[in-house]
Structure 1
Amino acid sequence: MDAKDKLFRQMVSHIAASHQLHYDMTKGMPIGDITPLQYEILELLTVKQPMTLSEISDCKGISMPNTSRELRKLTEKGLCEKVEDPEDRRKQYIRLSAFGEEKMGMAFGHMRQLFLQQIEHVPEEDVARISEALEVLGTTIFRGNS
């Protein structure tokens, strides 16, 4: 097996492990009466906003009508809001509302606590190496989405 094939296999393994880690860190999340899909949309908006409806739909792999329905529900709950593009009034962006920012701050606080427990006994030099590795992944594999 060559180095690139080995890297591919490692990447697939890490993607699966990341999904499991995300599940473990979000179960029991203090976010109220929202569905897992709604949470994922809020989480996406937390790290990358504002976004258009089509960007959210593409990123989450769900149809435009389903995305629109879920965003309507999130808007009704006061967690996100639509804003018009000042240069093109036909274009709308979605962002978290102040209430949504507050709720996601609590959710990320919960995740942070679980994450810090998980790395509690990891030596500082390993924490630095992990951080450096994530930066390399972010700029090469994930194209700056880290």
Structure 2
Amino acid sequence: MDKKALFNKFVSFTASVHHVTHDLTQNIKTDDITSVQYKILENIKVSQPVTPTEISECMHMSMPNTSRELKKLYEKNLIEKITDQEDRRKQYIRLAKDGEIMMDEAFATIELRFQQLLQNISKEDLAEIDQAIDVLQRKVFNP
């Protein structure tokens, strides 16, 4: 296979993923948090515990901005900080109880929207999609 053509397909695919993700998560956040704060909570939900540096890198934010947003989320009791027992300078972030509740509600809404996308897809196609996601995860996203 032509690797340039594969690259172009991959770029198109990732753009499509971003569009679908936007559609699935549109209007999900509550009035209590900003869209950036929601994205941080989403990142923590799927990867917790995470370090502030990992959040900063994933979100393409400076460390001062990341720290400021984490402070706001901490003050709203949506996250909690855990100090590493081996290296007291290192902190991990995870969702607090209120953050878990908020993100569980958000993910339930997203799942309903996702199920609507899949409602007219055959069992065979669903199995093929499942397999394709597994291959992408193994070979591209988590090699």
TM over 0.5: yes
TM score, norm. by length of structure 2: 0.95
Match of residue 56 from structure 2: 57
Mapped to 2, the partners of 1:8 and 1:131 lie a distance apart of 22
Mapping for residues 112-131 of structure 1, pairs under 5 Å: 112-131=111-130
Q: CA deviation at 1:99?
A: 1.0
Aligned length: 143
Unaligned runs of 5+ in 1: none
Mapping for residues 41-120 of structure 1, pairs under 5 Å: 41-120=40-119
Mapped to 2, the partners of 1:32 and 1:4 lie a distance apart of 45
Q: CA deviation at 1:23?
A: 1.2
TM score, norm. by length of structure 1: 0.93
The percent of aligned pairs where both chains have the same amino acid is 47
Going from structure 1 to structure 2, the CA distance change for 1:30 and 1:57 (only over 3 Å counts) comes to closer
Mapped to 2, the partners of 1:129 and 1:5 lie a distance apart of 25
Deviations 1:41-72 (A, max 9, x none): 11111110111111110111110000000111
Displaced runs of 4 or more, over 6 A: none
Mapped to 2, the partners of 1:5 and 1:130 lie a distance apart of 24
What code does the residue aligned with 1:118 have? L
Mapped to 1, the partners of 2:35 and 2:21 lie a distance apart of 12
| Contact kept in structure 2, 1:30 and 1:106, CA below 8 Å | no
Match of residue 33 from structure 1: 32
> 3-12 vs 126-135, which deviates more?
3-12
| Corresponding residue SS for 2:86 | coil
Mapped to 1, the partners of 2:137 and 2:126 lie a distance apart of 16
Unaligned runs of 5+ in 2: none
Q: CA deviation at 1:78?
A: 1.0
**RMSD across aligned positions (CA):** 1.2
Mapped to 1, the partners of 2:136 and 2:127 lie a distance apart of 14
Match of residue 17 from structure 1: 16
Q: CA deviation at 1:4?
A: 1.7
